[in-house]
């Protein structure tokens, strides 16, 4: 089933001393455009977020809002590596004992030998928490887009049914139009009061009827309708192809209208143009 390009989703996660909330808002766009607000101080995480978004969506303007703050207990995390300090302190004490020194190691001694090194605490990295919230937001947004896609598919199917019905009415009218055209041609020739070879007259009438024949346009138009219906059942991004089909449909309808000399068919053509334009407007929302 098709998906819409409009959707909304929120994800929240806590862990590693962080709380993260990710909000996604998606709108229509011919291509894929990702805008991540915040995280300017963490460019690597921002790049990871953008890559995840690009894997999840194929079209649309994706706005990403990330709220990140320290969680409960974050202040208890060590700034310096206590294990490193312990190793240096043990080493200094061994030196004092070995050489029977009077003074015990002090904080200044530890700083002097470089014992105060920043803790390499993986749990302080907010990326896993952000990613967890992001995946929740992506899932919620995709569900919203899928739900909207169901409504879109029903709306588009209704429009296609309208176009198909009008096409059938035009096709049903064609034999009568051709008969009337043949009668008018015969009456016009008869009014000239000239001798005309019956075979030649029949040939000329056939040429005129063929000139205004729209069977090919009807067949191509019905083919486009069938293709559009098959795309509606696809789970792949099909919005661009549906948009292309809308242009091809309009081309066939315009050609049909330019060939027609029948008032009834011309009325159907006007309705068909309105329906095709409605189809084009709706497929702009399809991913």
Q: What is the pLDDT of residues 122-157, one digit of tens each?
A: 556 889 999 999 999 999 999 999 999 999 999 999
Structure token digits, residue 17: 């001393």
Give yes or no: residues 12 and 139 share one domain.
yes
Nearest-Å Rg of the Cα atoms of the chain is 37
- State the pLDDT at residue 74: 45
- CA atoms of 24 and 139, how far apart (whole Å): 10
Give yes or no: residues 21 and 51 share one domain.
yes
Per-residue pLDDT tens over the stretch 33-74: 999 988 777 888 899 999 999 999 999 999 999 999 987 654
What are the b/e assignments for 148-162, b being 16+ CB within 10 Å?
A: bbeebbeebeebbeb
Give yes or no: residues 30 and 131 share one domain.
yes
- CA atoms of 216 and 222, how far apart (whole Å): 10
Give yes or no: residues 274 and 195 share one domain.
yes
User: Does residue 222 surpass a pLDDT of 60?
Assistant: yes
- Assigned domain for 121 exists: no
- State the pLDDT at residue 209: 63
Per-residue pLDDT tens over the stretch 87-127: 888 888 888 888 788 788 888 888 888 877 655 555 568 89
For the sheet with 60-70, list strands across it: 7-15, 18-27, 60-70, 32-37
- State the pLDDT at residue 186: 73
- Assigned domain for 119 exists: no
User: Does residue 269 surpass a pLDDT of 90?
Assistant: yes
- CA atoms of 157 and 206, how far apart (whole Å): 38
User: Number of folded domains in the chain?
Assistant: 3
Task: Tell me the mean pLDDT in the region 262-276.
Answer: 93
CB atoms within 10 A of CB 66: 22
Give yes or no: residues 140 and 183 share one domain.
no
Give yes or no: residues 140 and 177 share one domain.
no
Give yes or no: residues 158 and 141 share one domain.
no
Tell me the average pLDDT of the chain.
87
Please tell me the pTM assigned to this model: 0.71
What domain range is 93 assigned to?
78-112
Give yes or no: residues 181 and 253 share one domain.
yes
């Amino acid at each position: 089933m098709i998906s819409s390009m409009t959707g909304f989703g929120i994800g929240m996660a806590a862990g590693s001393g962080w709380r993260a909330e990710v909000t996604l808002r998606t709108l229509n766009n011919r291509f894929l455009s990702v805008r991540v607000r915040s995280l300017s101080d963490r460019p690597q995480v921002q790049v990871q977020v953008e890559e995840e978004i690009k894997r999840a969506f194929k079209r649309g303007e994706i706005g990403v809002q990330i709220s990140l703050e320290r969680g409960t207990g974050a202040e208890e995390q060590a700034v310096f590596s206590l294990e490193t300090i312990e190793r240096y302190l043990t080493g200094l004490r061994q030196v004092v004992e070995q050489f029977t020194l009077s003074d015990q190691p002090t904080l200044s001694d530890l700083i002097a030998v470089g014992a105060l090194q920043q803790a390499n605490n993986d749990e302080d990295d907010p990326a896993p928490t952000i990613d967890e919230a992001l995946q929740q937001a992506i899932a919620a947004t995709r569900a919203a887009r899928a739900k909207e896609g169901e409504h879109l598919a029903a709306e588009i199917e209704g429009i296609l049914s309208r176009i198909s019905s009008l096409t059938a009415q035009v096709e049903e009218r064609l034999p009568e139009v051709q008969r009337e055209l043949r009668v008018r041609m015969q009456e016009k020739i008869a009014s000239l009061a000239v001798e005309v070879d019956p075979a030649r007259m029949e040939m000329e009438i056939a040429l005129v009827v063929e000139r205004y024949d729209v069977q090919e346009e009807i067949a191509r138009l019905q083919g486009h309708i069938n293709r559009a219906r098959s795309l509606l059942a696809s789970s792949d991004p099909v919005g661009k192809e549906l948009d292309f089909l809308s242009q091809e449909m309009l081309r066939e309808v315009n050609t049909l209208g330019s060939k027609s000399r029948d008032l009834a068919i011309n009325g159907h053509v006007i309705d068909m143009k309105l329906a095709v334009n409605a189809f084009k407007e709706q497929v702009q929302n399809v991913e």
